[in-house]
Structure 1
Amino acid sequence: MKPVWIVDDDRSIRWVFEKALTRENIAHKTFSSAPEALEALEEEQPQIVISDIRMPGQSGLILLDKLKERCPHVPVIIMTAYSDLESAVSAFQGGAYEYLPKPFDVDHAIELIRRAMNENATFENMAMEDNLPPEILGQAPAMQEVFRAIGRLSQSNASVLITGESGTGKELVARALHRHSQRAHKPFIAINTAAIPKELLESELFGHERGAFTGANTLRKGRFEQAEGGTLFLDEIGDMPADLQTRLLRVLSDGHFYRVGGHSPIASHVRIIAATHQNLEQRVNEGLFREDLYHRLNVIRIRIPSLRDRREDIPLLSRYFLQKSARELQVEPKRFTDNAIQFLKGLAWRGNVRQLENLCHWVSVMAPGMSVDVSDLPEDIKTPAISEQTEANSVLSHNWQSALEREVSSSLNQGEQGILNRLITDFERILIEQALIHTGGKKVEAAQLLGWGRNTLTRKIQELGLEEDKSTNNGA
């Protein structure tokens, strides 16, 4: 693991960080000046840099500028005295991840470092593995399942059905499936079947011969021919008209199709990835979608979670979208305050990730300062906040209970013994881990939040082996 760098001319500050990071099993190096750190940069890159803002010679802001030139994705935390808030603003404008006011609480500093480490690790893994476009970010368990599915399907040509609400990123997943398939060197062609009028959709998919209908003055190849050897992504497949469902089924069945007005069969070697926000099973039952076509498409299904089901990804996603908007606008990236992030986590997000991206772009253009608080958000986001918070709480409650029901049912069907003990252990582990994350590792506060005494919490941590897990994870 790359080390955390501490840059401060104050020996006592370096000593405090050395002790705290050693205790947390976090690899680190310390430097007494900016030039010393920059010299070390010739040999290796840090995972995170924590730098004082005022140092003899080169300041922390100069170090920040040079780090951003050489290692743009490395988070830089700037330490500053309370009297240096103007400098802190300059730090944000220079691309600092966060600032740490002096004197600081050591536990808060470690929590900040861990947060930066987690976010940076996600970006580095994406770049290193080169297996997902950067927009597909997520640390939530539901998104990890999506990532695993993309990996497993890399050697498969099976048809895939992607389901999920509008705005969850279904096309991004389809593109990732193509990019990591054996067809990656061939075309990826996408078409939204709901966005094209019925009378034009047939020609759009299968092409037409010259003179096939009025206005068909030349031969035109359709999307199937354009995607030959590659992948054809059919978005909103649930809205496809019935007669075209029949034609699509025929292509999937025998591998041939005819252009509109054509008489010669054309062979098709295309992988189909379909997507929908609708319940296809229900549409089949209602007679609106062919059951045989549904089974042809539903060979492998990937469900994309809504943003409500992965709220823990909101900080990571918002940071990425703010940086993306800043690049497009050629301005410095803004950041959400902790209060704003907590507020955003409580919203219903009916538009999902697309809605969050739009909000980040609005903030990049309209928010007055570099640090964006709740008061800086657009009114249409803030107005329904109370009702949405209630709805969000209800959804969250329903989601975890439904997940528990599915887990119990699956375990019973597999004949598992001792289900209760296993689930109670998992339940207590999650409660303790989340409480400690929330309190920055402060056990007394975590015990109070959980309704236990400190001794009870300590005993539970030992019984569950959480101290060992923490040590192992930190050393990974």
Structure 2
Amino acid sequence: MDPVWIVDDDPSIRFVLEKALARENLATRSFTQAAEVTEALAEAVSDGQALPRVLVSDIRMPGGSGLQLLEKLHAEYPQLAIIIMTAYSDLDSAVSAFQRGAFEYLPKPFDVTKAIELIRRALQESEGEKTPANGEGELAAPEILGQAPAMQDVFRMIGRLSQSLVTVLVTGESGTGKELVARALHKHSPAAQGPFVAINTAAIPQELLESELFGHERGSFTGAQTQRRGRFEQADGGTLFLDEIGDMPFDLQTRLLRVLSEGQFYRVGGHSSVKVKVRVIAATHQNLEERVAKGLFREDLFHRLNVIRVRLPALRERSEDIAVLTKYFLKNSAQQLGVEPKRISNDALAILSQFPFPGNVRQLENTCHWLTVMAPSQLISSHDLPPEILEKVAAAHAPGHAAHVGLPHAIQDTAAAQLDAEPSALSSAASGMGGGFLSNSHASPAAPAMAFPDVARVHMADAGQEDWTVGLVKEAQKLLETQSGAVWDVLSQKFESHLIRAALANTAGRRIEAAQRLGIGRNTITRKIQELHLDDGARSGSEHDTV
């Protein structure tokens, strides 16, 4: 059975996709309307034949819309990946396509390279690994995940404190999971049967924080209609977690110190002391020693809280944990959204492991939520990662690894999304670049192109025996020092310019043939020639070649 089926009433669309897929050694079968597809699928089922793995369908066709076909096929053949394409792209049709189970939505006109890449990803998804049955292989749900040595130190600390009710100060950057540690300390303590009460002292206005902590008596202030128990009373016999303690107002620090010292306090407006037995765990992302030195935090309170300190490492200090955290968060996100959990490729995990995650574990969790919603396939590839992650990792690699490697994989992935060339075409382009790629490093990217080089006479030896990708990284280093903020655009334009020049030289200036060899659409190469101001150099060899 042909793995890819195409249904579109436009013969030119069918022809382009058929030829492009044939170059990828992918067999196709084409139809002009939805009824033909449903009939062919029914025949395949009755004859015991294998079903197609991907269907590429237009929306507007005679005899039934692509959205109706999508809804019907998704219900009857849920394993079939369906890509919807349309020249009338709008919000309603896009939303409707995804709601009815589309693998991806492809607006026309589309770049053929991107369309083929999307079809390939759909094919990979259709033969991807299945979710383990009977719960096999499911990730456990521990309180805190981590195999890094720094996290093992945290686990050991929690274990040592499990028989104690001593006051603990948890420090670490925002998003590292300080409340999770506080909950674990409570759960594995003699006070585990008591309540765990958490309050973020930075999130409550100063005029309300005192009442939140200590409660108030009826009539103590306007709006106090009844007596109210504060967080200390609510946590009696258990644990009170004071998050962002470094932001507590100075005058309230005095009251907190008295409670910690005496184990009793007065409600706001009250005259009788209230005694409580509460284990206090405080947390902060700030340097309390510095705040003490600046007079912003009471030194005696600092020493009262800093009996035992547990420091949580930033995620960049435990990058080996990113893989297991990512899989865990993807599973959780899927459960929350009621969808099938997505898998993540090793390439994507490698890029995530190199990202510094300034927002720490919380940022990684949010990224997994984003991927669960936005990644088109069940297998998340490097192309699916948020652009800010790809760009940050690529920029970080350029100066640091130039002496050892060529292009970082993140840059290769990003470039491939634009120029997914065939090996032969890319090889020719690389040969054509040689040392010339770096020869005009200070020229404007918009300058008119020179005549196309004779690719047959240009060899990698011209680059001084250097791999051309190493030269590219060196160029990136130079630009990063002199043109901050424009490096990506400058290098992208140079790369595309040299690649298109090499392809045109290889085809004697015939644009359509050059586009086919590069694996991009004819509209794309025309647009790029105009954007990169290559017309002057291309005109002599391409006047006869209408795109």
Q: Same fold (TM over 0.5)?
A: yes
Establish whether residue 221 from structure 1 lines up as the match of residue 235 from structure 2. Answer: no
- The amino acid that maps onto 2:362 is R
Paired AA for residue 318 in structure 1: T
Q: Distance in 2 between matches of 1:343 and 1:86?
A: 22
Q: Which residue among 272, 276, 279 is the counterpart of 2:284? A: 276
Match 2:352 to one of 329, 344, 349? 344
Q: Which amino acid aligns with 1:186?
A: G
* Residue correspondence of structure 1 range 69-468 to structure 2 within 5 A: 89-90=125-126, 92=128, 94-95=130-131, 134-389=142-397
Q: Distance in 2 between matches of 1:315 and 1:204?
A: 40
What is the CA deviation profile of residues 428-466 of structure 1, one whole-angstrom value per residue up to 9, with x for unaligned ones? xxxxxxxxxxxxxxxxxxxxxxxxxxxxxxxxxxxxxxx
Which secondary structure state, in structure 1, belongs to the residue aligned with residue 334 of structure 2? helix
Q: Which one-letter code corresponds to 1:174 in the other structure? A: A
Distance 1:189 1:391, change over 3 A: farther
Cα distance in 1 between the residues matched to 2:245 and 2:307: 15
For the residue of structure 1 that corresponds to 2:199, the secondary structure is strand
Distance 1:386 1:167 in 2: 24
CA distance in structure 2 between the aligned counterparts of 1:388 and 1:280, rounded to whole angstroms: 32
1:242-294 C-alpha deviation (Å, 9 max, x unpaired) = 01100000001111100000010100200000000000011111111001000
Q: Structure 1 residues 369 and 216, CA, compared in 2 at 3 Å: closer, same or farther?
A: same
- Partner SS for 2:280: strand
Separation in 1 of the partners of 2:142 and 2:227? 39
C-alpha RMSD over aligned residues = 2.5
Secondary structure in structure 2 of the residue aligned to 1:384: helix
1:384 is displaced (CA, Å) by 2.7
Deviation at 1:373, TM superposition (A): 1.4
1 CA distance for matches of 2:313 and 2:158? 15
SS at 2:152's partner residue?
Answer: helix
Q: CA deviation at 1:145?
A: 0.6
| Aligned position for 1:430 | none
Whole-angstrom distance in 1 between the partners of 2:296 and 2:392: 35
CA contact (8 A) 1:93 1:333 kept: no
In structure 1, the residue corresponding to 2:146 is in which secondary structure? coil
Give distance in 1, aligned partners of 2:326 and 2:399.
22
Q: Give runs of aligned pairs for residues 463-474 of structure 1, distance below 5 A.
A: none
SS at match of 2:242: strand
Contact 1:202 1:244 in 2 (8 A): yes
Structure 1 residue matching 2:193: 3-state secondary structure: coil
Contact 1:174 1:233 in 2 (8 A): yes
Could you tell me how far apart the structure 2 residues matched to 1:371 and 1:324 are?
16
CA distance in 2 between partners of 1:231 and 1:172 (Å):
13
* 1:251 alignment partner AA: V
Matched position secondary structure for 2:282: strand
Q: 1:215 to 1:184 in 2, by over 3 A?
A: same
- Relative to structure 1, the CA distance from residue 363 to residue 209 in structure 2 (aligned partners, 3 Å threshold; closer, same or farther) is same
Gaps of 5+ in 2: 1-119, 402-547
Report the Cα distance in structure 1 between the residues aligned to 2:182 and 2:165, rounded to whole angstroms.
13
Cα 1:94–1:202, aligned 2, differ >3 Å: closer, same or farther?
same
C-alpha displacement of 1:372: 1.1
CA contact 2:351–2:390 (8 Å) conserved in 1: no
AA matched with 2:309: R
Contact 2:122-2:377 at 8 Å conserved across structures: no
For 2:455, the equivalent position in structure 1 comes to: none
Aligned-pair CA distance for 1:382:
2.3
Q: Secondary structure at the match of 2:271?
A: coil
**Alpha-carbon distance in structure 1 between the residues aligned to 2:313 and 2:275:** 36
Q: Which moved more, 1:242-251 or 1:85-94?
A: 85-94
> Contact between 2:291 and 2:297, CA under 8 Å: does it hold in 1?
yes
Contact 2:333-2:372 within 8 A present in 1 as well: yes
2:231/2:240 contact within 8 Å kept: yes
Shift of 1:235: 0.1
For residue 370 of structure 1, what is the amino acid of its counterpart?
A: Q
List aligned pairs for 1:36-55, cutoff 5 A: none
* Contact 1:206/1:225 (8 A) holds in 2: yes
Instruction: Give the counterpart letter for 1:192 in structure 2.
Output: N
> Which shows bigger deviation, 142-151 or 371-380?
371-380
Unaligned runs of 5+ in 1: 1-83, 98-116, 128-132, 394-476
In structure 2, the residue corresponding to 1:348 is in which secondary structure?
coil
Query: Which AA in structure 2 matches 1:336?
Result: I
**TM-score when scaled to structure 2?**
0.49
Higher relative contact order (CA 8 A, sep 6+): 1
1:104 is matched with which residue?
none
The residue type paired with residue 208 of structure 1 is H
Residue 392 of structure 1 deviates from its aligned partner by 9.7
Amino acid at match of 1:334: K
User: Relative to structure 1, is the Cα distance of residues 261 and 343 closer, same or farther in structure 2, using a 3 angstrom cutoff?
Assistant: same
Which residue identity lines up with residue 189 of structure 1 in the other structure?
A: V
Query: Secondary structure at the residue paired with 1:317?
Result: helix
Q: 1:95 is matched by which residue type in structure 2?
A: T
**SS at 1:238 equivalent:** helix
Give the percent of matched residue pairs that are identical in Structure 1 and Structure 2.
Answer: 64
Cα 1:88–1:207 change in 2 (3 A) is: same
- Which residue does the alignment assign to 2:53? none
CA distance in 2, matches of 1:295, 1:208: 28
Post-superposition CA distance 1:205-225 (Å, at most 9, x none): 000000111111110000000
CA separation of 1:194 and 1:391: change in aligned 2, threshold 3 A: farther
Shift of the 193–267 alpha-carbon distance from structure 1 to 2, 3 Å rule, reads: same
Tell me the SS of whatever aligns to 1:383.
helix
- Cα 1:284–1:176 change in 2 (3 A) is same
- Report if aligned partners of 1:159, 1:300 keep a CA contact under 8 Å in 2: yes
